[in-house]
Chain A
Amino acid sequence: MSTPIIDITDLSKFYGKARGIEHINLEIGEGEIFGFIGPNGAGKSTTIRILMNMIFPTGGSARIMGMDVIRDTKKIKMQVGYIPSDANAYSSMGVHEFMNYCIHFYQVRNGEQRISELSELFELDLNRQIADLSLGNRKKVSIVQSLLHNPKLLIMDEPTTGLDPLMQSVFFELLRSENRKGMTIFFSSHILAEVQMLCKRVAIIKGGKIIQLENIDNLRKKQLKKVYIEFGDKVNKENFSISGIESVITGPGNTLSFMYSGNISDLVSYLSGKMIINLMIEEPSLDEIFLHYYKN
């Protein structure tokens, strides 16, 4: 990995006695599209808020492009775009007024042209008042403002909430295109399918701690398989035990399904003495992998 664009070391945040995040370590390389997944309350937004200097850590440190997120926040933010999870822009402003306000914080050449290009791409009406916009359109405002200054790093916290599938697809295509031009993307979400579509590497956060850091492909390839078996006679799941199986569910008829993380040949040997009508072994979805890590 090249020099990390985000370098988080032993980062912790406690709200009084309540845990926000605990001893998080993370390195994200330049040009990556990195997924940060976990359910609500896992610590995703806390981590992002520390990176954006909205809140202060109680321990550890974080650096972006080699600069400290607290001391060098101004320099960092010149090169960072941010899409918040809540699309609450200044409701008293018009869309165009808000874009102009945002772009004036940066030294952007052809700012007006950039506003027009992005607005057209997202079919965003610049003449409307922000207060009159639907959630989806407010989200578009949020996306457009984050990209106006051609940031080197884009940090997104649940960016697709409220976007219709068509706009999600436009958005993802734009992200891929910006990534090809060199933009690093940090994508926090609890929607695993969209992370799977876009990201190359992913961290799973649970209870304020990173429990898995993996390439998306490796995560899928890790011996975890989803297995369906239809037996010829009645089967009792309590009697069905082999090392590496989890989440055993009895289905209709004489079927069982489970997640299997062991060696496939061991499973086949184990099944060889049983009457089997049908056997399916398939790749689990990222959701299922995610639930698997969560349960563990």
Chain B
Amino acid sequence: MNRNLFLKEIRRNAVSLMIWMIVITILIVLTMSIYRTFMENQSKIVGMLSIIPKGALQFKGISNFNDLLSVLGFYAANNVIYMMVLGSIFSIVLSSNILLKEEYDKTAEYLLTRPLTRSDIFLSKLAVLYLNVFILNLVTSVAGFICMELVKKGPFSIRAFLILTLYTLLLNLLFGAIGLFLSTLVKRAKPITTFSIGLVLIFYFIFTLSKITEGAAKIGYLSPFRFANVDAINPAYTIDLWHLAYFIGISLLLTGLSYRFYKRKDIYT
């Protein structure tokens, strides 16, 4: 890893990270700010929710309406889209551009002619990706935690909150690995941002479809979202080791392949 390159990349992505952190944090704060109103009108809202198909609630991790009455259940159900989907979009956009941008911006000729190996470049950029995803998750999770502390009516399981946070981080990192992998496959340099965002949304759509359509339950396994359990209010909520192995295994595999491809990639500008 090269410190100079690492610091430059951190600076280069700082504004983008800041914007994403602010947007997701605002969404979390706004969502959690309605929790008290929700509690005050719970009978009416639960009545309204009862007309929504059960599957439609399930995909948000709500197995029971009463889940929403718990602050953690409310947080898990309402913020999953921000932290998991938006976090994954941030992660894949960053990862799919972090190497490729040097090619389509035609700056690769400056980067590759420095005293750096391909490994130095790859590892420096990977570290930037991990650090960015980690900071985004840390800040938004802390914001979520503070919001829950401020609006809670009773205690909630910090352990369950941490597991939920871990799943979000692992999902974001997996999409980071997918973006990195895709970028190393691109032969002629051009941005793949739209494709990457589309991929996250397609996976989320597949996951949603599998939750609301009984006949499509199995296709849910095609989507990484299926392996991030958000049913935090379930008393048996814990880390599924198979799911953990899935996230870590696929992430490592894709990152390893990306490293291998990048080391031998012909880079044109």
A-side contacts of B112, CB under 8 Å? 52-54
B-side contacts of A106, CB under 8 Å? 115
Contact pick for A105, options B106, B114, B266, CB 8 Å: B114
* New A-B pairs, 8, CB < 8 Å, besides A77-B114, A78-B115: A54-B108, A55-B267, A73-B117, A77-B113, A84-B269, A86-B106, A89-B107, A145-B110
- Determine if A231 is an interface residue (Cβ-Cβ < 8 Å): no
The number of chain B residues with a CB under 8 A from chain A is: 22
Which 6 A-B residue pairs are closest in the complex by CB-CB distance? A88-B106, A84-B109, A55-B266, A82-B113, A77-B115, A104-B4
Q: Complex Cα distance A145/B2, Å?
A: 19
Q: What residues make up the interface of A, taking CB atoms closer than 8 Å to B?
A: 49, 52-56, 73-75, 77-78, 80, 82, 84, 86, 88-92, 101-102, 104-106, 145
Contact pick for A75, options B4, B115, B267, CB 8 Å: B115
A-side contacts of B237, CB under 8 Å? none
Whether the Cβ atoms of A56 and B266 lie closer than 8 Å is yes
Main secondary structure of the interface of B (DSSP, over half): loop
Whether the Cβ atoms of A101 and B8 lie closer than 8 Å is yes
Whether the Cβ atoms of A101 and B12 lie closer than 8 Å is no
Q: Complex Cα distance A49/B120, Å?
A: 19
Closest to B113 in A: A82
Whether the Cβ atoms of B269 and A101 lie closer than 8 Å is no
Q: What residues make up the interface of B, taking CB atoms closer than 8 Å to A?
A: 2, 4, 8, 12, 105-110, 112-117, 120, 264, 266-269
Q: Complex Cα distance A77/B106, Å?
A: 19
The verdict on A54 contacting B267 (CB below 8 Å), with A77-B116, A101-B8, A104-B4 known, is yes
Closest to A72 in B: B117
Closest to B105 in A: A88
A-side contacts of B267, CB under 8 Å? 54-55
Whether the Cβ atoms of A74 and B266 lie closer than 8 Å is no
B-side contacts of A75, CB under 8 Å? 115
Q: In the complex, how many residue pairs between chain A and chain B have their CB atoms under 8 Å apart?
A: 64
Whether the Cβ atoms of A80 and B120 lie closer than 8 Å is no
The verdict on A89 contacting B110 (CB below 8 Å), with A56-B264, A74-B115 known, is yes
B-side contacts of A101, CB under 8 Å? 4, 8
Whether the Cβ atoms of A80 and B113 lie closer than 8 Å is yes
Q: Complex Cα distance A53/B266, Å?
A: 9
Closest to A145 in B: B110
Q: Complex Cα distance A18/B267, Å?
A: 17
The verdict on A105 contacting B8 (CB below 8 Å), with A84-B269, A88-B106, A89-B107 known, is no
The verdict on A74 contacting B116 (CB below 8 Å), with A86-B109, A92-B12, A101-B4 known, is yes
A-side contacts of B4, CB under 8 Å? 101, 104-105
What are 26 A-B pairs with beta-carbon distances under 8 A? A52-B109, A52-B112, A52-B113, A54-B108, A54-B109, A54-B113, A54-B267, A55-B267, A56-B264, A73-B117, A74-B117, A77-B114, A78-B115, A84-B109, A84-B113, A84-B269, A86-B109, A86-B269, A88-B109, A89-B107, A89-B110, A90-B12, A102-B110, A104-B4, A105-B4, A105-B116
Closest to A15 in B: B266
Closest to A51 in B: B113
Whether the Cβ atoms of B115 and A84 lie closer than 8 Å is no
Q: Complex Cα distance A151/B134, Å?
A: 39
Closest to A91 in B: B105
B-side contacts of A145, CB under 8 Å? 110
Write the nearest CB–CB distance from B121 to chain A, whole angstroms.
11
B-side contacts of A77, CB under 8 Å? 113-116
Write the nearest CB–CB distance from B101 to chain A, whole angstroms.
10
Write the nearest CB–CB distance from B59 to chain A, whole angstroms.
40
Whether the Cβ atoms of A105 and B115 lie closer than 8 Å is yes
Closest to B120 in A: A74
Q: Complex Cα distance A153/B8, Å?
A: 26
Write the nearest CB–CB distance from B17 to chain A, whole angstroms.
15
